[in-house]
Structure 1
Amino acid sequence: MIRVLIVDDEPWNCDILKTFGTWEKLGMVVVGEAEDGDEAFRLVGELAPHIVITDMHMPGADGVELLQALNSQCPDVKIIVVSGYDDFAYAKHAIRYKAVDYLLKPVNPAELNAVLLKCKTDLEVKGAEQQQEATELDYEFFHRLTQYKQLLRLYFNELNRDGVILTCSQVVQELESYGAPSPHMLGRLVQELLSLLKELATDNGLDTSTATGGFPLAQAALSSVEHALEFVSSCYAQELDQLIRQRKYKNKLNLEEVRRYIDSHFAGPITLEQLAKNFFVSKEYMSKVFKQEYGQNVTDYIVERRMEKAREWLANKQISIKAVAEMAGYEDVSYFYRVFKKHFGMAPGEMRKEV
């Protein structure tokens, strides 16, 4: 699976790239996002992406500095520059530091996917030429892994320890069905699962210094499928236990933590009942204190967050209304239209004409 890191200080630009890229079709996955060059270079060390898509004009370390650092220390990483600045100086930097291409905002989906395909081809050719000792995990397995990761995300957010452990076991059983995995293959799988764990820990307000970074990957963990399963399961169990202790044995419900949780998960199947269960309070109590603190009930707050993001995404006419609905958490586009019109007094298409 080809790992991609997106670097842009404007979240909506990241959203657009994630929406337009045909990631699954290309055998790619977006493993992280960064807001400036310094954060991006740190994540390159942690996530080992094959491709970095970066803006040029950012606060702090900009795209030029990032290109210099990558060209010097990570020459195998493919770089795609995306910038709103039609400035020949930026293009010269992109060429000098061997960027694969230089795309102007607003990004054309066809151009983006064409350059991603070029990166994929280059990476595959390079891999064949080097005759890497480890065989890349089969695309079909990674397609299956995506489904398991969705289950892990669901069970972790529901504090379902048994579900998480069972899913970890199912993942390695799936891997075994492809034949005896090499240490390299196991290592790739373990890193994928630990990257997801770090994301889940961050989204749930845990100290990320313990997530993945607190679990040194010893070679013994890769000596067999059983050891890999034991290692990954213990990592997930440790983070879940910490999260449960943090929420269950508190003196008072931290409503700011609840609000941050909603802000991170509003696009998912979040409900008042599930939220109350996750924070070890009754739904009646959750509803009461949330409304006292924020002046609206939980359901209305979730809808408001979804509508705010939907309105923001609609401003970019290159994103289809169907894609906006899905990104905001609505699989039923007709229902999204009804909720949007009730919230704003106009249909999504009408608002798009006004922005």
Structure 2
Amino acid sequence: MKALIVDDERHVREAINLLADWHRHGITEVIQAADGEEAVELIQHASPQIVMTDMRMPRKDGAALLTWLKNHMPDIKVLVISGYDDFDLVRHAIRNGGMDYILKPVDPIALNEALTKAVDAWRAEEQSRQQMNQLNIQMNQMKPLYDDRLLTELVSGQHFNRSFLNELQERSLIPHTATFFSVAVLSDAQFDEGLLLKFHNRRHLLSFALINICGELLRNKGIAIRNINKLGEIVILYWDTSAPLSTVLTQINAGIRKTLQRNVHFGLCQQQNVLSEIPKAYAEAVDKLWKRNVIGNLRYLHEEHDQEHGRQASIRNTQQEERFRLAALSGSLEQMESEAAQWIAHVTEFGYLSPDHLVRWNTEWDWMQHHWSEPESLDSKQAEEQYELESSVTPLPLDETGQLDTERWTHQIVARLSAASRTLTQRHSKDNHTVRDIARFLEQHYNKDISLQDISSQFFLSREYISRKFKQEFGLTILDYLSDIRIRKAKLLLMNPHLRIMQVAEMVGYHDEKYFSKVFKKLEGRTPNEYRKDFI
């Protein structure tokens, strides 16, 4: 903290400097001025928090200095030290922000008491100023987010009451004079992987760059906002009637191309819509953007719906799941590339493909790979829906113009199959080991009452998973495999004439002699008694 002593008499300045307990008040620097003019120069240069001034001085006197401080530096705390007990001077000091009026000769107690009061007042106000500045900073940081939230609610149709619309206009988001609107939508998800990597997948930075370009060219003709509900989506509301939105979008595209070396695709609903129809216009613009054709369509403004979209809607890559899984299990790069090429040829034969298809097929890929690594959840629709929500976003296989890049798509599919190959190979080896452990368990406990639930609890696997894997490995169900073990053991025991059939049945795990005989005849083609007679 700094203090300034202003007095035309040097010995007075030095006396005040000696009498004041600067250290106790946290004042680390004390400067001096001989009159008001010199004081103004020092104040502008050094910015002291406390000023102690005389009233009678040449050039600019104390009264003039107080007036200047009130007009230019009102936060500075002022103490008047004067040899004149003049009511007019006191009144002027009080009216212009003076905190105390101390008479010469200066009493050190009175001086330090006044100094304490001035320092405490400045610190309290400074804390309040800092809190207010912090609040303003937070408000400024929140304002764009709050504005985006309001406009997101507008385009999504969440609010259309009068108070909501009034707030939009009061915050200057929508002009009072605007009555017709056009809507455009763009999404950073439709950029190529190369651009996304340049931003290190920090999509908020890419959105910030896009909004700045849009805002610069829209100016007072419209506004560009982030859709809070959809990551990477930017919505443009346009209300100017002097030029169509398509003209401005062409300029925006040129600006983005100059800045990012990319064109951007817009879904556009250019029909002029009243405010209440904005959600419908927004939905149409989104639909046009995501259902645009990425094969041979070089337009960047998409104002029409593509009628071919329905022809591809029924194609699902899960229909090819077994072929993809076998290609992954083969571990053959050539086989994986072949399956990828066949799939791409199949879905592009119509000459129409949309980003919407690519996103859906990416989700299906995620789900298939999840199933391959977690096969016990294959029959769970709930697991499918949950995984769809949790799956990460894969860049669309588009080139720098936003068109389909078949080479990149092939690479993506082969990369997925290669990753699945490693997972499936590891799991297959692990599964074989576990299944054979189950087989040994059956060999060791065949004479006990064993259920599938017992095996499930023993090996911490689902019954469905155990049944499926066991059948794949041995070609038999667990029940048939256990029956085979028991009957093999029973055939040895039947050679002992001293053991009754009931005893043999119990010794191999059957508590019902009739059921034992039924199973024995099914597997051996004759009853236990008939088998015994052949060997005794």
**TM exceeds 0.5?**
no
Relative contact order: is structure 1 or structure 2 higher (C-alpha 8 Å, sep ≥ 6)? 1
Classify the TM-score, shorter chain. Answer: 0.3 to 0.5
Q: Which has the larger radius of gyration?
A: 2
